[in-house]
Structure 1
Amino acid sequence: MCPRPSRSELVRCFGDLDLAEEVTSEAMEAALRHWPADGVPARPGAWLLTTARRRAVDRLRRDQAYAARLAVLRADAERAEPAPAADATGELPDERLQLFFTCAHPALAAEDRTALTLRCLAGLTTPEVARAFLVPTPTMAQRIVRAKKKIRDARIPFRVPGPDELPERLPGVLQVVYSVFTEGYAASSGPRLQRLDLAQEAIRLARILRRLLPAERETAGLLALLLLVHARREARTGPDGEQVLLEDQDRARWDRAMIEEGRALVVEALTGGPAGPYGVQAAVAALHDEAADVRSTDWPQIVALYDVLLSLAPSPVVALNRAVAVAMRDGPEAGLALLDALEGEPRLRAYHPYPAARGDLLSLLGRRGEAAARYREALRLAGTDPEREALRRKLARVESAAGPGGGGPAAGGS
């Protein structure tokens, strides 16, 4: 498979998102033409980056509006600049984080700058970014185009912000890192449930942010959340890559060192002032990781934490998760009533965990025909093969229990 040149480095070199994307595509096309005949070079990534830079030089020569940038680009093409090392001056020690903070420009709407960063710098596809925001792919594509146009028309400079600007831009960068992790934890599509490379990269970036801005408690909260969730990675899939649900996971396979590190960071995140959204989510994850099994989990405390989270960062996904926790605390009927109230929420229409959760609670209530309908809906929306297979198993169970009529709710409980 042909590698891609680093879009982050190209953006840093060229200072233009559209130009970077165009020459990246041209370099890929050139590789597909030349490598089958000439052989793959010893350093394919460097070959692609050099080719992309040369294509950019050609474009800049033809475009007088970019003439002022040409000298800089020529000099940069002659040498690969290493990422600056971490120091005590507050400077960003990582090239990717430099660009994340650069794109977190206050002139852009918060959601637009996050979407643009995920698409153009973090390497996520437009459908993956759309999933992170629970919007249709065409809507997200328009949002990204709008953000690029705003950068171009307003002539927003691609300048690494100074240390005094970092706290203002931090929330947007935390959102980007969290969204990258989310795609790694639960992939949008494909044959695998997890993309561990993305999850590990997000944790790496979160660690740098924690070192860089130790006084910002949400950096501790985000790192804690990622560690506490990622600690379950080995138990989340079976030998053939199949999905293993939380209640069925072998908790002995959870990474205890990672859990202990995460728990310590939760204490930091929740001490010394009002809690932030990442710290609260990390506290929820810690309660899951501390429990011996699903039944003995402290569901009342989890519901209380979701109440806090809804006040800090309300969203339909938080409301969905709270409804499931209420079902575990008070019974499936109570949880189902809360899920029913979310049925008109447009951002949940393409989010398969919502109909899947309704199917689970309907099944527990013995309403197997309705549960089957919800599982079919979730099956249609699920993006990965392991998720679809897990839903097929649930669907088969409720259809078998419903009997030959396919039908109606069974008498009695499930």
Structure 2
Amino acid sequence: MSDLEAVFRDVHGRAVAVLTRQLGDLDLAEEAVAEAFAVAAATWPERGTPPSPAGWIVTTARNRAVDRLRREAVGTAKLAEVARLQTIAGPEPEQEEVGAVRDDQLRLLFTCCHPALAPEARVALTLRMVGGLTTPEIARAFLVPEATMAARITRAKHKIAKARIPYRVPGDADLPARWSSVLAVVHLVGTEAHSPATGSAPTRPDLAADAIRLARLLVGLRPDEPEARGLLALLLLTTSRAPARALPLDRQDRALWDRGLADEGQELVRECLRIGRPGTYQVQAAIAAVHADAPTWADTDWSQVVALYDLLPQTPVVQLNRAVAVAELDGPSVGLALVDRVDLDRSPVLHAVRADLLRRLDRFAEARAAYDAALARTANEAEQADLRRRRDALD
């Protein structure tokens, strides 16, 4: 990954959030940040990366926005405000906000999850604006074509502008209407961190850190709401495996796992059990905790894993993961029969799972074809390399 790409991954979401607060215009903020990164791409290779890349991007983006507003001859009051912003070297000091958390990305998160937007648009837009994911990455997370996702994000941005949706964390009375979408967004950011759609790395630590930080803020915002606690536990437990993530879970060296993150996640799962109001993220965290308890893949309590999956809504992803656990309990032929009923053809994971089960059944020609199908559906280089290794081992 280049220095500029690393800065983009780390800074994009925060820069858009800061500029959205300062300019009051989500579209203008995103376009200004994009222009700032274009300038960086043209100048940094020759001049070098500045000491504070984030500050450079925010300042350059703000200046570009000011230039655009002047060209478009907007009202004098707005220009006076933007001119004031132009004199600031870095992000503006945080303003007091009653009942709100002092975090630009959290405010942007709630703006993008306004109930006026369609549920799928809320999640997609926030992944783009807060998480800094590209449209292809988001399309992969939703298992839809890229063009469909691009149109969805554009419509959501227009809706925010037309409805004049405010940029703030809502008060207590309005929080429940946005809570599920906000949790879903943070969960999907964590999912992309754990299994990136593209690139050469098996994980994205920048996104994982963002997701965990946002989840901690959400726990602080509603400390008595156990699903936020369960989501934080899930993110901690999955991120704890990142040092070994170059291989699938069944072949990972668990000595490489981050026990500090895993222990914190398991303690949160225990807290959720004491609260006694189970939800989807808490159950997923409990499954991750079962894996964290097991010293090896073979030692996993698969009957408990299957029982926990049975508590979840039976989405195609849940059905696939449950089938993997059933295969460990009842054998690969039983698991394969379940996998073949899952409607998830666009996912490389489904075809990789099929390939592994076919290999275990000595159906090598079919396994090779399934590995090829998985390879055709992923753009992540680390994932591709592992799939090729498994396919070529069939020989």
Same fold (TM over 0.5): yes
Residues 380 and 34 of structure 1, relative CA distance in 2, 3 Å threshold? closer
1:300 Cα offset (Å): 1.2
Residues 94-114 of structure 1: per-residue CA shift (max 9 Å, x gap): 221121112211100111011
User: In 1, distance between residues paired with 2:189 and 2:351?
Assistant: 24
Whether contact under 8 Å (1:61, 1:67) holds in the other structure is no
Match of 2:293 in 1: 290
User: In 2, distance between residues paired with 1:390 and 1:28?
Assistant: 33
2:260 partner amino acid: A
Alignment of 1:335-350 (within 5 A): 335-342=335-342, 345=343, 348-350=344-346
Alignment of 1:9-158 (within 5 A): 9-33=18-42, 42-63=51-72, 69-79=78-88, 80-83=91-94, 90-158=99-167
2:336 partner amino acid: L
Does residue 328 of structure 1 match 2:328? yes
* Alignment partner of 1:373 out of 369, 375, 379: 369
Whether contact under 8 Å (2:100, 2:169) holds in the other structure is no
Whether contact under 8 Å (1:90, 1:212) holds in the other structure is no
Match of 1:187 in 2: 196
2:194 partner amino acid: Y
* Alignment partner of 1:265 out of 259, 265, 268: 268
Match of 2:388 in 1: 392
| Identity among equivalent pairs (%) | 51
Tell me which moved more, 70-79 or 209-218: 70-79
- How big is the alpha-carbon RMSD for the aligned residues of Structure 1 and Structure 2? 2.4
TM-score normalised per structure 1: 0.85
Match of 1:315 in 2: 315
Residues 193 and 68 of structure 1, relative CA distance in 2, 3 Å threshold? same
User: In 2, distance between residues paired with 1:151 and 1:119?
Assistant: 14
User: In 2, distance between residues paired with 1:272 and 1:251?
Assistant: 30
Who wins on radius of gyration, i.e. which is larger?
1
2:296 partner amino acid: D
User: In 1, distance between residues paired with 2:110 and 2:182?
Assistant: 6
Tell me which moved more, 188-197 or 20-29: 20-29
* Alignment partner of 1:171 out of 177, 180, 183: 180
Match of 2:226 in 1: 217
Residues 246 and 31 of structure 1, relative CA distance in 2, 3 Å threshold? closer
SS in 2 for 1:320: helix
Residues 208 and 64 of structure 1, relative CA distance in 2, 3 Å threshold? same
Q: What is the aligned length?
A: 384
1:178 Cα offset (Å): 1.5
Does residue 8 of structure 1 match 2:17? yes
Tell me which moved more, 46-55 or 186-195: 46-55
User: In 2, distance between residues paired with 1:224 and 1:159?
Assistant: 26
Whether contact under 8 Å (1:60, 1:66) holds in the other structure is no
Does residue 256 of structure 1 match 2:259? yes
1:60 Cα offset (Å): 2.2
1:199 Cα offset (Å): 0.9
SS in 2 for 1:270: helix
1:195 partner amino acid: R
Whether contact under 8 Å (2:62, 2:85) holds in the other structure is no
2:316 partner amino acid: P
Tell me which moved more, 269-278 or 362-371: 269-278
SS in 1 for 2:174: helix
1:68 Cα offset (Å): 5.1
Whether contact under 8 Å (2:136, 2:146) holds in the other structure is yes
